[in-house]
Amino acid sequence: MDLQKRLDEAAKAHDIPGATLAVWSDGRLYEAATGVVNRNTGVETDTDSVFQVGSTTKVWTAALIMQLAEEGLLDLDKEIGEYLPQFALAYDAQITVRHLLTHTGGFDGDLFEDTGRGDDSLEKFVAFLHGAGKVHEPGELFSYCNAGYVVLGAIVAKLRGTTWEQAMQERLFTPLGVTHAALLAEEAVLFRAAAGHIGPDNVVYPKWQMPRSNAPAGSTLCLAPRELVKFGRMFAAGGVAEDGTRVLSEESVAAMRSPQVPVPGVPGLMAANWGLGFELFGWGAYGHDGGTPGQSTFWRVSDDGTFAIAASINGGSFMGLLTDLLLPLLREGGRSVPDLPTPPEHPQAVDVSPYLGRYAGPQLAYEVTEAGGGLQIALIPGAFMASMGQEATSARYVHLSDDSFIAAELQDGRYDTASFIVRDGVATHLHNGRAVARA
């Protein structure tokens, strides 16, 4: 498996400053690294380098929750207030632990309030959520919710009587034998830590670490890709680490890998269903993706456990790496990965009146107008998204199927899709992994 040559070529072709890749196949681990962790310093990337892995962290947080459930300290179907009395939204909602695990809690998820570096940062964030807006009724709909996983992390800290970071170290890193990992900046400096690069010129993102208050959702965890492969193999082994240590019960692993809620829209990078923490793909794999400013992580484990892959990059085109290297590797590993969706050659003109209007969330808004039998969708980023390099965009979308549309032109190596939740003949939400409510 000539990973090194293929990774070098893909990184060069897609202007990726640095990347690391780990693959488990044929009963052994293969690794490769290329480029630099930081173009300002020129420090080379190696297979020990740690990258911010973003939302792949959510599966680690979910595993900590499942351990609590195994010990009888928590019931997934009890309301959050049973464990965090300070969790109280401004509106009445009966939200359970399971709702948070499956992104069906129904409140605004893209809230990244910085509540400081203290051990009480999660507790303060939970109090901040009192002002979170309502997106939908609990359990009604899948809508990706970062804030929900912060609440789960706060539950872990409360019930364990420690910090979320300490629980991660004691309950997952140590039994799994994870060594190349960092949860805080002062730990990351002990490794070759990647810096994110943003924009068309791959400028180093000036603020390296996101708020600690969002750590359980993915703001701080740094890993070498082999550690994600190791974590994935534990699930493939029914909850047992490489050295035989039991980390999770077989029942917990089965529950995490079982479909809990369908994901609206067009299957592509997003899964068709969500489990308890995991994205579940209909083509025979589970995993999760992650992103922080200028860094992206891809992680998949085959259902039969014979193949696993994890890759991280610190800028450039993630979609280019995906289409040129990661998806081909999955197919070579025996997975029947479908192609990403493309627009029809002759798009059908449809009545677009149910979809027209403005949809807004805490970090961005969409303006949807008619465009020749299809839609023109303008994305308007808020201040946080703009600081991450997201620019305002406007693109024409054509009808794909049902209430789903697809971009007519290629954007960063893929055709974006947008789906709508329609009730009583009018779209109430624009959905692209997150449900963004009509304003």
Lowest average pLDDT, out of 1-5, 141-145, 182-186, goes to 1-5
Model confidence pLDDT, tens digit, residues 6-62:
999 999 999 999 999 999 999 999 999 999 999 999 999 999 999 999 999 999 999
Q: What is the mean pLDDT of the chain?
A: 95
Looking at the chain, the whole-number percentage of residues with pLDDT higher than 70 is 99
Mean pLDDT value across residues 58-67: 98
Beta bridge partners of residue 357, listed in sequence order? 368
Helix (H, G, I), strand (E, B) or coil at 421: strand
Is the pLDDT at 269 greater than 70? The verdict is no
The answer as to whether 398 is a domain residue is yes
Mean pLDDT value across residues 390-395: 89
Q: Which of 49, 55, 252, 419 is catalytic?
A: 55
φ/ψ of residue 369, rounded to 5: -130, 165
- Judgement on whether residues 200 and 254 belong to the same structural domain of the protein: yes
Distant-in-sequence, close-in-space partners of 186: CB < 8 Å, separation ≥ 6:
none
- Judgement on whether residues 333 and 267 belong to the same structural domain of the protein: yes
- Judgement on whether residues 292 and 414 belong to the same structural domain of the protein: no
pLDDT value of residue 1: 67
Going by C-alpha positions, the residue among 180, 136, 144, 168 that lies closest to residue 64 is 168
CATH of the domain at 372: 2.40.128.210
pLDDT value of residue 78: 98
- Count of CB atoms within 10 A of residue 270's CB? 18
The answer as to whether 330 is a domain residue is yes
Model confidence pLDDT, tens digit, residues 158-211:
999 999 999 999 999 999 999 999 999 999 999 999 999 998 999 999 988 889
Model confidence pLDDT, tens digit, residues 215-256:
999 999 999 999 999 999 999 999 999 999 999 999 999 999
- Judgement on whether residues 186 and 251 belong to the same structural domain of the protein: yes
- Judgement on whether residues 74 and 188 belong to the same structural domain of the protein: yes
pTM of the model: 0.96
The answer as to whether 53 is a domain residue is yes
Q: How confident is the model at residue 387 (pLDDT cuts 50, 70, 90)?
A: confident
- Judgement on whether residues 236 and 368 belong to the same structural domain of the protein: no
Taking the C-alpha atoms of residue 303 and residue 316, their distance in angstroms, rounded to an integer, is 30
Handedness of CA 388, 392, 396, 400 (dihedral sign): positive
Going by C-alpha positions, the residue among 371, 405, 378 that lies closest to residue 393 is 378
- Judgement on whether residues 238 and 383 belong to the same structural domain of the protein: no
Is the pLDDT at 421 greater than 70? The verdict is yes
- Judgement on whether residues 282 and 376 belong to the same structural domain of the protein: no
The answer as to whether 274 is a domain residue is yes
- Judgement on whether residues 117 and 258 belong to the same structural domain of the protein: yes
Beta bridge partners of residue 302, listed in sequence order? 285
- Judgement on whether residues 357 and 335 belong to the same structural domain of the protein: no
- Judgement on whether residues 9 and 147 belong to the same structural domain of the protein: yes
pLDDT value of residue 391: 83
Q: Residue length, the chain?
A: 439
Is 419 catalytic? The answer is no
Is the pLDDT at 284 greater than 80? The verdict is yes
The domain boundary residue, chosen from 339, 363, 386? 339
Burial call 28-39: b when 16+ CB within 10 Å, e when fewer: eebbbbbbbbbb
- Judgement on whether residues 293 and 377 belong to the same structural domain of the protein: no
Q: How many domains does the chain have?
A: 2
Model confidence pLDDT, tens digit, residues 92-133:
899 999 999 999 999 999 999 999 999 999 999 999 999 999
Is the pLDDT at 142 greater than 70? The verdict is yes
**Contact (Cβ atoms closer than 8 angstroms) between residue 270 and residue 249:** no
CATH of the domain at 98: 3.40.710.10
pLDDT value of residue 239: 98
Model confidence pLDDT, tens digit, residues 319-346:
999 999 999 999 998 888 998 999 999 9
Give the range of the structural domain holding residue 161, as residue numbers without chain letter: 1-339
Cα dihedral value 61, 66, 71, 72, nearest 10: 110
The answer as to whether 347 is a domain residue is no
The answer as to whether 54 is a domain residue is yes
